Amino acid sequence: MSAPSTNPVTPKDVADQMIETIAQWVDKEVIPNASELEHGDEFPEAMFQQMCEFGLFGATIPEQYGGLGLDVTTYARIIEELSRGWMSLSGILNTHKIGATMIGRYGTEEQRQTYLPRMVDGSYRAAFSLSEPDSGSDAGALRCKATQDGDEWIINGTKMWVTNGERAHLVMLLARTPDDRVTCFIVEKEPGDRFEGIATSKKIHKLGYKGLETVEMSYVDHRVPHTQMLGGDEGMGNGLRYALSALELGRINIASRAVGVGQAAFDSAMKYAQERETFGKPIFQHQAIQFKLAEMATKLQAARLMTYDAAARYDRGERIDLEAGMAKLFASEACFEICTDALRIHGGNGYTQEYDVERYFRDSPLMIIGEGTSEVQKMVIARKLLERNPID
């Protein structure tokens, strides 16, 4: 009889077990049901509840506040697996994580103690609100205003593209204060389309990324206590800096989504290429198809490695504005190309709802646009390259 193993369980072992559990759930419960829910634009309540049970909403929240305290590399792998099943599931998490990151990194200790423990189980969810109808990539041009009235701030303005805006309990809201600086406020609300000076539009209907709401939110004389200014008095005028810093995590999320969707599209194409026959043999045996699949696999591997590299640097506490931008740029463009080629490999069948590849094709453009377009990423990358490579 052999002696029991004395090797201790490492954090990596725990992470690997969690990823394996999520992957099995994705294969068994998500993939078979995603297209039906997606075409009905139906919120996946049962899947959401399972994500809560997994502890995903508190995945990166520190253990001292009740979260799992997972590193960002593990979080990236989780997002990849969820997106392999249905990209919209990762969207339910992303804005929540951005909110938790902003509070955890820049909030006062009182704000951290107040909100983070409530955010770990998914029952108290966050949304992130920066974009406006006339202010998307040009974040510095936002018009939403916050005017001080004693120990309160009065918010007026309209916000656009708010994911999870209707179901959220708090909104990380960026607004312009009278000194013409941008400040972040923690706006509490009840789920629904109307709450004390906050009105939520009907869902914006989208090409893909369905099953969760994307809405317009209007603020009319909505009052927020001064204590809800993120970071307290030190937060005055620092909202845009706080948001852009937190979006580094958001860009890792988008890159991870792109890897997950790209993997799903590649898997579908590989399977179809071995099953579909033309001219008396599987289409995989045609060199044209082999070349496509070889290029798809290479792009996918490169995107995954770049994403994991950015996440690992984040975990080491390094500045990753350059690396996150590069990962998001490359992975999102690679995903779009992989999904396009997967659809072409499926031929006419790829254009039907019978095959999931049409969903991957419709979802893939979001990664090129979300958390900063590819063109914005190139501008960010160029600026950071100049900073890191000055002429002596």
The catalytic residues are 371
| Identity of the amino acid at 223 | R
- Residue (of 188, 249, 248, 252) closest to 223 by Cα position: 188
Q: Is-contact 61 67, C-beta < 8 A?
A: yes
Total Cβ atoms within 10 A of residue 180: 7
Burial of 63 (0-12, 13-18, 19+ CB in 10 A): exposed
CA atoms within 13 A on the CB side of 299: 28
Partnered with residue 200 across adjacent β-strands are 217
Q: Supply the Cα-derived Rg of the chain in whole angstroms.
A: 22
| Identity of the amino acid at 238 | N
CA 136/CA 177 separation, integer angstroms: 19
| Identity of the amino acid at 160 | M
